[in-house]
Amino acid sequence: MPGRRVVGIGANGQLGTDLVDALDRWDLVPLTHGDIEICDYPRTQRILESVRPDYVINTAAFVRVDACEEQVEQAFAVNAFAVRNLAQVCAGLGSALVDVSTDYVFDGKKREPYTEEDIPNPINVYGNSKLAGEHFVRAICPRHLVVRTSGLYGRAWSHGKVESFVETMIRLARSGKSIRVVDDQVLAPTYTRDLAEAMAVLLAEDAHGLIHVTNRGACSWYEFAKAIFAIAGVDATLEPSSSADMGRPAQRPAFSVLARAKPEEWRLAELRPWAEALREYLQERDTPSDE
């Protein structure tokens, strides 16, 4: 929007790339990790003070869930203390801080969609570090918006350090390897383009507080993988597995579907079903670029 300056941190990541497109009418300053290191408080302060944004959107995070169990200090440095840095700087500038959080702040025991009114109870280091970041944002920065989401995938997967689940499944299938995927963890997979467009609406509405935003519906990771192969037309040897049998370092919530307690708030329409979004992503993924 004219007159409103937005800094987008993590601009070349999965979500950040789509946010750059979704906010094309805004006065956007996209920053990559090479431009800003949010763990470096003095540098972060200097950069943001020079830009003096109305909004700062932080999509940077340490998202390797299993690695967080071993690299606890790094997880909290990026997901919590660096977010505290941003909250302090934004509070001093009077800027609004928008931070992206996760469904993994919940323990999964509820067995029905979690709303913003439910009390978080993370069961792994990643979830705890992200929840700590949420607390810093809400306690320090008067103007803030925390957006929780889940199961992100998007077109910029190849630019980041972490491959999305969709791309991992396709890569493994084409390698001819047998694939085992858990069928006892349920989520709402979310296309970053849909999330980015929703966040643009929230900014235009000057939304604040805490909100859950995901594509509609739910599935297990196994059902998600089946849909990927069916839509992409990829042959795969896919088998269901339990979380216990997979033996991953980090425990995951068995059910982490998110819902909005007030779906009519901020004029944000419910996002389309996850399978519809996945279909569009896979179709566009295989469409040759004109560039």
User: Are the beta carbons of 43 and 50 closer than 8 angstroms?
Assistant: no
Q: Which two tokens stand for residue 11?
A: 């601009």
- Reported residue count of the chain is 291
- CA-nearest of 112, 96, 87, 182 to 145 is 96
SS3 at position 247: coil
Query: What is the 8-class DSSP label of residue 117?
Result: T
Q: What angle do CA 244, 249, 252 make, to 5 degrees?
A: 65
Q: Which two tokens stand for residue 139?
A: 């306690």
Q: Considering 55, 104, 114, 126, which one is annotated as catalytic?
A: 126
Note if 126 is an active site residue.
yes
Distance of alpha carbon 24 from alpha carbon 28, whole angstroms: 7
> With 0-12 CB in 10 A as exposed, 13-18 as middle and 19+ as buried, what is 147?
buried
- CA-nearest of 152, 155, 170, 167 to 229 is 170
Distance of alpha carbon 266 from alpha carbon 260, whole angstroms: 11
Active site residues: 126
